[in-house]
Homo-oligomer: A and B are copies of this chain.
Amino acid sequence: MARKSVNVAVVGATGAVGDEFLRLFELRKYPIADLKLLASERSAGKKVKYLGKEYTVEKLTADSFKGVEHAFFSAGGSISKEFAPAAAKAGAIIIDNTSAFRYEKEIPLVVPEINPEDAFKFGARRIVANPNCTTIVALMPTFPLHKAFGLKRAVMSSYQAISGAGAQAMAELEQQTRDWAAGRPMTIKVAPKQIAFNVIPRIDVIQDNGYTKEEMKFLWEGQKIMHHDSLRATATCVRVPVLRSHSVSLNLEFEKPVTAEQAREILRKAPGVIVQDDPRNEIYPIPLERTMKDDVGVGRIRQDISVPDNKGLCLWAVGDQLAKGAALNAIQIGELLLTKP
């Protein structure tokens, strides 16, 4: 498909997700006419290579968006709130990877394999929101099953990589690991507790109902993306000492009965999903092997024996949260927008 070229800006070009944007633009041959890399004053002036050409990271200002058509924001919610209006005014469509706008009724929240039609409803504010990374990984295998069997309730427990907390948190796990190997005391600065050889059951801020915001996103975003307002969902989000790729344990309850084999058949045909389900031969998705892969891996598919009438499934899904959980999903939204003039 011939695609017109667009002028692209990346806001937050020097972060963990920023790196992913450049890797995936290249891999997917994103039709970039002009590329602008934007970041805070602290990172401005940094040199970044893309397709053999050196780019200088520019300081983000309200004037940065002249001529920009696709503006990918990934520099935190407050930056998105401050600069999205300027980008929209300049005529860009904002594909926002933060949670700044996700819960506003008029802003579409899109996973291209699930609700592609919503991407075109960016409206006057010209914003399409990119969902939370863990939510994307969990919904990729859940949605095709919902379509077939009618999802009533989802229970999720996550195993989230440290890079979900940013490049500094990732460096902290690496440093703690080196310190442990050298017999040195460890330093704890970014994560709330030591993450090496530990798990931390608190990601994002605590809400009045005792859930973290990260956990509530699974419900809020799941309902919105799947257009399923009556969905009941709960999550417990946990950081694990993994560098990259999030895993989720899912217990799904459906309107209709479902067998593991029916589920596998549906998931084998689902776009963006790969079934890896032969645990006797050690075939199941793991974070080490899903890293930098586009598809979300799903395995350990079995009937949930605690749900009556064969209406439950257990499954285990793993996806690269910096790719499909962030930059890849955002880029797919951009690609979708390019299909309509």
Question: Chain A interface (Cβ within 8 Å of chain B)?
Answer: 153-155, 157, 159, 177-178, 180-182, 192-194, 197-202, 206, 209-212, 219, 232-234, 236, 238, 240-243, 247, 249, 251, 260, 279-280, 282, 284-288, 299-308, 312, 314, 316
Least Cβ–Cβ distance between A250 and chain B, in angstroms: 9
Q: Determine if A154 and B210 form an interchain contact, defined as CB atoms under 8 angstroms apart.
A: no
B300 touches A236 (CB 8 A): yes
A303 and B215 CA atoms in complex are apart in Å by: 13
Closest to A159 in B: B199
CA distance A251 to B234 in the complex (A): 9
Which chain B positions have C-beta within 8 A of A301? 210
User: Shortest beta-carbon distance, A212 to chain B, in Å?
Assistant: 8
CB distance from A34 to the nearest CB of B (A): 38
Complex: how many Å from CA A260 to CA B241?
A: 29
Number of copies: 2
Give min CB distance, A290 to chain B, whole Å.
Answer: 10
Contacts of A153 in B (CB 8 A): 306
Listed from nearest, the 9 A-B pairs whose CB atoms lie closest are A210-B302, A181-B181, A157-B157, A232-B306, A157-B249, A234-B306, A236-B249, A198-B288, A201-B316
Known interface pairs A209-B302, A210-B301; A238-B200 also in contact (CB < 8 Å)? no
Contact B219–A305 (Cβ < 8 Å): yes
Measured CA separation A153–B236 after assembly (Å) = 17
Is A201 within 8 A of B305, CB to CB? no
